[in-house]
Chain A
Amino acid sequence: MKYGYFPGCSLERNAAAYDKSTKAVAVPLGMEFVEVEDWNCCGATEYISLNLLASYALSARNLAQAMRTDGLGELVAPCSACYLNLTKCDKNMRESPSLTAKVNEALAAGGLSYKPGSMRVRHLLDVVVNDVGFDTVRAKVTRPLNGLKIAPYYGCFLARPGYVPVDDPEQPIVLDRLLEALGAEVVDFSLKSQCCGGHMTQISEGMGLEMIRRLVQTASESGADLIATICPMCQLNLDAFQGAMNRHFGLNLHLPVLYFTQMMGLAFGIEREALGIGSELVNAREALSLIGSTPESDAGGPPKRVKKDDKALPMPVPLARA
């Protein structure tokens, strides 16, 4: 399966591990990526806050550049913000001929044009789950992630606002299923689709750090050894600002945050270095040493009941164990 590939600014540098691990797992999964020629920034959430038409022209230039790559109708974006901006641009241009006319008038200044609907923009997770499929993923697992408890973290843009229905906007599930297919134990992470705060650490530090605290602390209390994410902004906030968050709240949390592609790579037996593992600021070495260990709950049949209080009244014993 061949796709256009839109890495975006984050994957160039701060999320280079996401780019590296995506390319490493693409080979065994049979995905071929052709990078969009001379792509530009998607504008994140900033450009559209200042100029409407310029922000659409910025995204449309990327779509036009992607369209020029012969034979590719699908464009994959691993970054959730790039994914949303490209999708939003195409969707609103499709629905509004007047917007399309203006955007194309702007693009003409750079010798480009874009026909809305020409590119189908996909999130990388959507492609892995729906094009490659769980069966293929499962078949490639040589080193199952047994013993590792993972909190799946979706963030916002995969399923919200949901221009393309990929998953449930409130309770997404595809990443849970994918991590299970890798052999990991997926913990019940109640905040899995909550926001990481985006740029809030810069605008209002206390509020930004509080949003990060809620996520890291809740994931930690859910019993997770690490968080698996699908977005560079989420990774940056939860990983790089975890130290600042601990200091701000007087906490001592240590929860590594890795990309779902890195988890796939580990399960496929790919070398850690080839997956960019080690570039996270909250070191994942200790958590990853759990891979292959037997989870407590699987250790020899049902867990033994410990009677806490000798003087307590007898409680009914479950039928299965009686």
Chain B
Amino acid sequence: MTSAVAETSHSPAVEKKFLQQVMSNTPGETHLDMCIQCGSCGGCCPSAAEMDHTPRSLIALIRAGNFEEVLNSNTPWYCVSCYFCTVRCPQEVHVTDVMYTLKRMAVQAGIKDPCAAPDFSKTFVSWVENYGRAFELGLMSMFRLRHDPFGVVRITDMAVGMLSKGRMDIAPTSIKGLSGLKAILARAKALEVVA
């Protein structure tokens, strides 16, 4: 009986472990253990309608130790990072930073992407890691072609407008200290694995 309980994701030990993991992976005070399930976060979330779980439900799932459902949820990826939930939470739960933590935990756990957002982040970051600067045209064209090739038509006038107004580069710009930056990021990633 005891061992059967221990194997489910709802055992007290697993519950506490997952909650603690999320909290310790987030810099600053998350106050995640203080949530009173009032739902203010979901109520003011501009993208809640598109989410698998509202932020409140997701926090309940974290505290129940249901890490599989949490990490497979699209909720963190639909967070627009507006911080309204964070400033409105009566318990000062740092919901937005928790969403960032859950995204990282899902990627690092090798969870299958629940929507296009993780690939958008990865594409954005690949330009930054290779040049030190963001590259909008490369990001948008690569990402669109992979996820919505026919949708390119819908933004053609916008892209043409941006190019003709000189608001988009056609090639990425590299920083001077690129080798130093690459060394810094490689060391940071190695340290993150240890931590």
Contacts and interface: CB of A to CB of B under 8 A. Distances in A.
Contacts of A280: 165
B31 interface: no
B103 A50 contact: yes
A211 B46 contact: yes
B110 interface: no
B162 A240 contact: yes
A56 B115 contact: no
A51 B192 contact: yes
A16 B87 CA distance: 32
Contacts of B57: none
B25 interface: yes
B158 A16 contact: no
A115 interface: no
A243 interface: yes
A12 B148 CA distance: 28
A109 to B, nearest CB: 4
B134 A44 contact: yes
Interface of B: 25, 27-28, 46-47, 49-50, 77-78, 80-84, 86-87, 94, 96, 100-101, 103-104, 107, 115-118, 120-122, 124-125, 128, 132-134, 136, 140, 143-144, 148, 151, 154-155, 157-158, 161-162, 165-169, 173, 175-177, 180-181, 183-189, 191-192, 195
Interface of A: 9-10, 12-16, 38-41, 43-54, 56-58, 61, 91-92, 95-96, 99, 102-103, 105-112, 156-157, 160-162, 169-170, 194-195, 197-200, 202-205, 207, 211, 240-241, 243-244, 247, 278-281
A243 B191 contact: no
B134 A9 contact: yes
Contacts of A194: 46, 82
Given A44-B124, A46-B125, A203 B77 contact: yes
A51 B81 contact: no
B184 A61 contact: yes
B132 A40 contact: yes
Interface of B is mostly: helix
Contacts, number: 204
A13 B184 contact: no
Nearest to B96: A161
Contacts of B161: 240, 243, 281
B181 A61 contact: yes
Which residue of B27, B154, B162 has the most chain A CB atoms within 10 A of its CB atom? B27
B186 A47 contact: no
Closest 7 CB pairs of A and B: A110-B180, A195-B82, A160-B83, A106-B188, A109-B187, A57-B188, A46-B124
Given A13-B169, A16-B167, A106 B134 contact: no
B116 A244 contact: no
A106 to B, nearest CB: 4
Contact of B115 (A45, A54, A204): A204
B83 A279 contact: no
Nearest to B165: A279
Contacts of B187: 57, 105-106, 108-109
A107 B184 contact: yes
Contacts of A15: 167
Contact of A46 (B83, B121, B180): B121
Contacts of B118: 49
A289 to B, nearest CB: 20
A106 B136 CA distance: 27
Given A156-B82, A279-B167, A53 B87 contact: no
Contact of A161 (B47, B94, B122): B94
Contact of B167 (A9, A13, A112, A203): A13
Contacts of A199: 117, 120
A45 B64 CA distance: 28
A9 B124 CA distance: 12
20 contacts: A9-B134, A14-B168, A50-B103, A50-B121, A51-B192, A52-B104, A58-B181, A91-B28, A103-B188, A105-B187, A105-B191, A109-B183, A170-B87, A198-B80, A199-B120, A203-B115, A211-B80, A243-B158, A279-B165, A279-B167
